[in-house]
Chains A and B, each alone.
Chain A
Amino acid sequence: MNKLNEIEGLNISENYLVSPFYVFFIICTMQVGIGILGFERYLVETAGFDAWISVLVAGGFLQVLVWVMYRLLQNGGGDIVHIHKQVFGKYIGGFLSLLFAIYALLLAFDVMITFIEVIKVWMFPGLQVWIFAFVMIGLVYYIVSGGFRVLTGIALISIVIGLPILLLKFFPIQAGHTMNIYPNIEHSPMQIMAAAKQSALSFLGLEFLLIFYPFIKDPHKSKKWAHFAVFYTTMLYFISVLVTFVYFSEEQLKQVVWGTISTWKIVEFPFIERFEYVGIAMWLYVILPNVCIGIWGATRVMKRVFPVKQIHFLRFTCISLFFPVALVAGRDPINAINNFIGTVGFYVLLYIPVLLLLKTITDKVRKRHEH
């Protein structure tokens, strides 16, 4: 039923496919990660309280990107490894695919160290990082070894559990100064675009579609879900930005490192106070799919490039991730890594339209040769 099946290495048995509907959850959960806990500050530094426009601009750009990706994949693409092979040939294509795999790994790595940093700052300053990393990577290994279907399930649970946390936005709005959001565009388009680039970094994760596309049943039907997912996350980020803008004053927000966590601090119920502890603990559900799908994607690409079982790659990556995760510590190196990966991710996003262009050209050339 699926024309991808004809491509070698992409014939995935029916049992392991997921419905197109789940594309929504996977993309959402990949996009919403650790970034949402503290991205407001970086936006405000560049574009002040006009940053909400940047979020919308970034969202619009991502919608275009989804279209590009589907175009790329539907034109007999399959997945990124296959496209690379078609466009660049076996060796260069393989090399580029490996770079993509490394990028996926870096993303997973980044999410993990940032989450550990959050836990250290907000909960346990004396956390034994290497033991925590050990357990967390063990958990990731257990989930990833279940295959893509299990990952989809975790993604679904992550979104479902993440929803109630959204409702907590009600508390800061109540305590907020709604006049802060009055549209009053003070920043130049350049600044707003720069902030849009900044916010695009929090939106990373979309590009994994290039890897898991063959796992979707009736992939063409999933397109609307992907667009909807991007819309949903854009709205999520948009609301988060607005809420923090309402809650904090501009100069104050520039000094608040984790804006969203700080807004949880005022949530109070008769039986529980100080919701940030619960929020951070629950955030594990949100970031875990990021890490898992990141590692899964990386190992999947490696499997497609080299003829070795994925489980071996998985073991290898888990062990090799453990040491850097356990060793990296401190605000400054983590910020540096965040920025680096953000920049890399931005270029990866830009690379996708380029790839589409190259692919169209090679297809045309090839066709002419055939004639």
Chain B
Amino acid sequence: MNIKWKFFVLLCILLLSAGCVPSKSVEENAIVQISGYDRGGDGGRIKGTVSIPQYGKSEKKTAASELYLTVDANSIKDVEKEIQKQSSKPISIGKLAVTLYSMELAEEGISDVIDVLSRDARLSRNMYLGVVDGQTQDLIENGYTQDETTSKHLQGLIENNIHHNFPSTSLHEFLYAYYAIGMDPYLPILAQKESFVEISGIGFFKKGKLVTTLSDAKVFTFKMMKENFTRGMQDLPFQEGTIMLDNIGSTVDYKLTGTNENPGLEINVKLKSEVNEMVGVEEKPSPQLAEEMEDAFVDYFKTNADEMIELFKKEGIDPLGLGHFAKTRTRHFDEKRWEDLYPDMDIQFDVDVEITEYGIFS
């Protein structure tokens, strides 16, 4: 080996050591997992609240402690900047799992927030968005369980409900519907009830503005119209008591009817289910009773669905994505005309409920 070669190698090593991308390792970052936005007070247009989990030494790791920071700012990125001022560690939003907006803010429109979320490469597309009935700051800072951080709790809450009554939601699905033609997004509404949080309904958006909500009781019907799913429960007063329907497989099918000038839509749902609660029902389970129960459910779903469709028509929103569906089935789909026709469109809802089991006790 020659001196020059050695020099060259040395130079390379020096060069490489200069090439390190400046970075801090994981524990030196303040990892924001949940962020919430409220309408701002005097300090700025919006008020941002974040929670940063504080991981202690290994022995105490079960106990979750969190640091809550709240700032007033003018834009979403400004929130990040302002929070940086209060933090001893660099703020990292890469693991953001839940983003919440207060109802007030959502009614004013959250388009600017959506822009930031879809632009930033570091964010996950599986993040959950939600609207809070009340102040997000209070909801975040409340602290719900001993062994879970708030973000994990809320994330788990939404995820669990998606598997049951609530239609699937995530940042990606929100963006999909937000940008798609003939489709409008929706988000879960969270509400604080004393010491716990619950999903209290769905909020429907029109171009980034919250326009109307649907209560918790009707969510099942909406989900049924929206997507195929295999779980979820719905109760119904029947005779003198209540029966509980346990879904084991529901499929939905849209169909375009009518002419090109005057299009209509059919929504057909097939629901297979079990009934596992029959409080106050005197009759023994029998084919006749099953039929009666099926009819009761069909009536109930139909009324609900028709109400809902009317509501959507009135508000001019299309969370079911009917326009989006029609677009894939129509040549030269005219978005404007569709929107004009939508309020008076003939949308038929049909449901077929089949009850297969009554549990192990009769």
Contacts and interface: CB of A to CB of B under 8 A. Distances in A.
A132 B325 CA distance: 47
Contacts of B19: 128, 131-132, 135
Contact of A252 (B16, B176, B329): B176
B18 interface: yes
Contacts of A262: 125
Contacts of A131: 15-16, 18-19
A131 B20 CA distance: 9
Interface in A234-280: 248-252, 255, 262, 265-266, 268, 273-274
B331 A179 contact: no
Interface stretch (A57-65, A103-111, A118-126, A363-371): A118-126
Interface stretch (B177-185, B211-219, B345-353): B177-185
A193 B248 CA distance: 47
**Size bracket, chain B contacts:** 20 to 34
A180 B324 CA distance: 9
A362 to B, nearest CB: 50
A179 B254 CA distance: 11
Interface of B: 15-16, 18-19, 21-22, 118, 121, 124-126, 172-173, 175-181, 183, 324-325, 328-333
Interface residues of A, number: 30
A128 B18 contact: yes
Contact of B21 (A124, A251, A255): A124
A248 B16 CA distance: 40
A122 B119 CA distance: 11
A266 B175 CA distance: 14
A145 B331 CA distance: 56
Contact of A179 (B175, B177, B325): B325
Which of A177, A182, A255 is most buried by chain B, counting CB atoms within 10 A of its CB?
A: A177
Contact of B183 (A248, A249, A266): A249
Interface string A157-196: 0000000000000000001010110101110000000000
Describe A's contact surface by its main secondary structure: loop
A127 interface: yes
A184 B180 contact: no
A251 B16 contact: no
A249 B325 contact: no
A232 interface: no
A134 interface: yes
Given A135-B16, A184-B329, A186-B332, A266 B125 contact: yes
A123 to B, nearest CB: 8
Nearest to A176: B176
27 contacts: A124-B21, A126-B21, A127-B21, A128-B19, A132-B19, A135-B19, A175-B173, A177-B176, A179-B328, A180-B328, A182-B328, A182-B329, A184-B328, A184-B330, A186-B332, A186-B333, A249-B324, A250-B180, A252-B176, A252-B179, A252-B180, A265-B124, A265-B125, A265-B126, A266-B126, A268-B126, A274-B124
Nearest to A127: B21
A153 B15 CA distance: 30
B221 to A, nearest CB: 21
Contacts of B121: 121-122
Contact of B331 (A134, A186, A249, A251): A186
Nearest to A119: B21
A248 B177 CA distance: 9
Contacts of A273: 124
A168 B329 CA distance: 29
B124 A251 contact: no
Interface string A198-211: 00000000000000
A175 B174 CA distance: 13
Contacts of B118: 255
A132 B16 CA distance: 9
Which are the 10 A-B pairs with shortest beta-carbon distances? Answer: A249-B180, A131-B19, A252-B179, A251-B179, A182-B328, A265-B125, A124-B21, A249-B176, A122-B121, A128-B19
A175 B172 CA distance: 9
Contact of A249 (B16, B22, B179): B179
Contacts of B173: 175
B176 A248 contact: yes
Nearest to A253: B179
Nearest to A181: B328
B249 to A, nearest CB: 18
A347 B168 CA distance: 47
A342 to B, nearest CB: 24
Contacts of B181: 249-251
Contacts of B125: 262, 265-266
Contacts of A132: 19
A122 B121 CA distance: 6
A249 B177 contact: yes
Which of A124, A131, A249 is most buried by chain B, counting CB atoms within 10 A of its CB?
A: A249
A251 B180 contact: yes
Given A180-B328, A186-B332, A126 B22 contact: yes
B125 to A, nearest CB: 4
Contacts of B18: 128, 131
Contacts of A135: 16, 19
Contacts of B126: 265-266, 268
A180 B21 CA distance: 41
A203 B18 CA distance: 37
A131 B16 CA distance: 7
Contacts of A274: 124
A248 B332 CA distance: 20
Interface in A9-42: none
A271 to B, nearest CB: 15
Contacts of A175: 172-173
B179 A255 contact: yes
A45 B125 CA distance: 23
Nearest to B15: A131
Given A124-B21, A248-B176, 20 more contacts: A128-B21, A131-B16, A131-B18, A175-B173, A180-B328, A182-B329, A184-B330, A186-B332, A186-B333, A249-B176, A249-B180, A249-B181, A249-B324, A251-B179, A252-B176, A255-B179, A265-B126, A266-B126, A268-B126, A274-B124
